[in-house]
């Protein structure tokens, strides 16, 4: 119900803000890489792990029947049909280097925790360095620090500012670079800011017009995708598919359709 969704949004916001304070207060001057994941350039820090543990403890306490899918830990099964989708630090490379864009992303989805079929109900993204918190709730709009946000509506692709991101695998990056050569000449400019969750919130509030990336994980897009959609963005993949790891393209509806056509033409 609407009031349950409102409560889930408040909890997502509280969790993201609490975790954000931990990250803000605990970042050492020089961050060490604790381990690497998919490749040597895909880092995990001690902070990623401890913040995800904090989020998992809070959810187990407050919502014991819900499932959990997180970037840094094992899936937890639930009985309620709801799943919390967690990214303790989205933009880990920025966190490592002390570059501004990194965030905690907390979302709750109904149904299978798979972007192809899930229904996101509520989400929050808390940007650690500037302290901004974006939230979204299904059917209830998107906000930044309590103020409603809306996508920008540029009148052409040529005047649209487009965010994107790259994965950690060399072959995937070569393909992303190839597609980028088709997109860059057609748009105002490209930004690679380093946190997909924040980038999707920037689309929501009109600081980017569009965002696309191939290879996004469910936790990179769960909260930000809902926030962008609730701010008026179209969110999809290519060829009429939903937004998934295969492709996520987000932005003001008319321009998003043009970007999707361009990506399809580029064979993305």
**Cα gap 36→169, rounded to integer Å:** 12
- Strand 189-191 relative to strand 161-164: parallel, antiparallel, unpaired? parallel
Rounded to the nearest whole angstrom, what is the least distance from the CB of residue 164 to ligand IPD in the complex? 8
**Cα gap 236→233, rounded to integer Å:** 10
According to the binding rule CB under 6 A, does residue 14 interact with ligand IPD? Answer: no
According to the binding rule CB under 6 A, does residue 87 interact with ligand IPD? Answer: yes
**Cα gap 100→115, rounded to integer Å:** 27
Rounded to the nearest whole angstrom, what is the least distance from the CB of residue 105 to ligand IPD in the complex? 8
| Contact in structure between 179 and 265 (CB atoms under 8 Å) | no
Span 146-185, contacts to ligand IPD by CB under 6 A: 165-167
Rounded to the nearest whole angstrom, what is the least distance from the CB of residue 130 to ligand IPD in the complex? 17
According to the binding rule CB under 6 A, does residue 91 interact with ligand IPD? Answer: yes
Q: What is the DSSP string of 103-171?
A: EEEEEEEESSS-TTT-EEEEEEEEETTT--EEEEETTTEEEETTEE------S-GGG-EEEE---SSHH
Please identify, among the stretches 77-85, 124-132, 190-198, 251-259, the one whose residues bind ligand IPD according to the rule CB under 6 A: 190-198
Q: One symbol per residue from 47 to 66: x for binding ligand IPD (CB under 6 A), - otherwise; what is it? A: --------------------
Contact positions vs ligand IPD (CB under 6 A):
71, 87, 90-92, 165-167, 194-196, 213, 215-216, 220
């Amino acid at each position: 119900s609407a009031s349950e969704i409102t409560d889930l949004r408040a909890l997502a916001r509280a969790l993201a803000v609490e975790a954000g304070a931990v990250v803000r207060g605990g970042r050492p001057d020089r961050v060490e890489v604790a381990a690497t994941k998919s490749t040597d350039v895909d880092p995990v820090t001690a902070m990623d792990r401890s913040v995800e543990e904090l989020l998992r403890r809070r959810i187990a306490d407050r919502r014991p029947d819900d499932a959990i899918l997180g970037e840094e830990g094992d899936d937890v099964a639930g009985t309620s049909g709801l799943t919390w989708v967690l990214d303790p630090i989205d933009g880990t490379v920025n966190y490592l280097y002390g570059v501004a864009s990194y965030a905690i992303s907390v979302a709750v989805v109904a149904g299978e925790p798979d972007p192809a079929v899930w229904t996101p109900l509520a989400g929050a993204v808390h940007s650690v360095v500037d302290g901004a918190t974006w939230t979204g709730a299904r059917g209830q709009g998107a906000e930044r620090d309590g103020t409603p946000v809306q996508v920008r509506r540029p009148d052409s692709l040529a005047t649209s500012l487009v965010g994107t991101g790259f994965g950690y695998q060399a072959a995937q990056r070569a393909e992303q670079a190839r597609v980028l050569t088709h997109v860059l000449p057609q748009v105002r400019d490209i930004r690679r800011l380093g946190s997909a969750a924040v980038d999707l919130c920037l689309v929501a509030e009109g600081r980017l017009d569009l965002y696309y990336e191939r290879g996004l994980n469910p936790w990179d897009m769960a909260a930000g995708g809902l926030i962008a959609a609730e701010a008026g963005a179209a969110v999809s993949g290519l060829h009429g598919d939903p937004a998934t790891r295969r492709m996520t393209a987000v932005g003001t509806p008319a321009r998003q359709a043009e970007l999707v056509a361009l990506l399809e033409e580029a064979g993305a």
